[in-house]
Amino acid sequence: MSTQPDNISQEKLLLRVHQGQKITIASDYLQTIYRRLALATFLIPCLKTVVAIGLLWYLKIPKDLLQDPVISKVNQLHYIWVILGLIIPTLLGGILTWTWIGSFQGFLWGGLVRVFLGQQIISSTNSICHLYGDRPFDSHDHSTNNILLAIFSCGQSWHNNHHAFPNSAIAGFEWWQIDPGTWFIRFLEFFGLIWNVNIPTAKMIEAKKLRS
């Protein structure tokens, strides 16, 4: 009479053990996936950088930049700048508020959100500015000038200008084209901090304009 409840208890115990093994296997499987994703997340940008530099060197497009010791050093320290861009706002948030919450908010808003928005602005320049806007120049592509993104992109949304004159240091050619990037370059040039700034002449700009 007492063997039946014992058998039921053993079956329940075995079922629980079996379910626990399934959960453990699933957990181990997920952890393996997470590890692989984390490794891929780390390696893919590194591989992309190596491939990009190798391709550019092979095509000999920016060899003057790659051979410049200052530019090369800045490029080599790319990840240092990224890390500093997260550490500095974290420290400032902590110093200004003298709290851990302030440090976290500095890290979140001054670090992660800033990087996220910066990446989205760059991406929007290369997507929206190939769909919406005007095309004053014959650039043999679909690039456009978009005034709505001018302030946020520091003038890079004058994308048709950039595609028409890719070697130009500035993007805003007209006085009314909002271009904080150009203003900053002009500021540095005025004080002699930079020189030999490559800017197309008025004749070059006029010659490349589309005729209606």
pLDDT of residue 76: 82
**Domain contains 13:** yes
Q: Are 139 and 117 contained in the same domain? A: no
How do residues 130-145 score in pLDDT, each as one tens digit?
888 889 988 888 889 9
Domain residue limits at 190:
133-212
Q: Are 95 and 125 contained in the same domain? A: yes
Q: Are 91 and 116 contained in the same domain? A: yes
Mean pLDDT along residues 166-179: 89
How do residues 57-115 score in pLDDT, each as one tens digit?
555 555 666 677 877 787 788 888 889 989 999 999 999 889 999 899 999 999 999 98
Integer Cα distance of 96 and 73 in angstroms:
32
pLDDT of residue 130: 87
Last residue of a domain, one of 20, 41, 63: 63
How do residues 4-54 score in pLDDT, each as one tens digit?
555 555 555 555 555 555 455 555 555 665 555 555 555 555 555 555 556
Residue positions counted in the chain: 212
Integer Cα distance of 78 and 75 in angstroms:
5
Mean pLDDT along residues 163-180: 89
Domain count, the chain: 3
CA 70 from centroid of its chain's CA atoms: 22
Integer Cα distance of 81 and 122 in angstroms:
18
pLDDT of residue 186 exceeding 80: yes
**Domain contains 70:** no
For the chain, give the mean pLDDT. Answer: 77
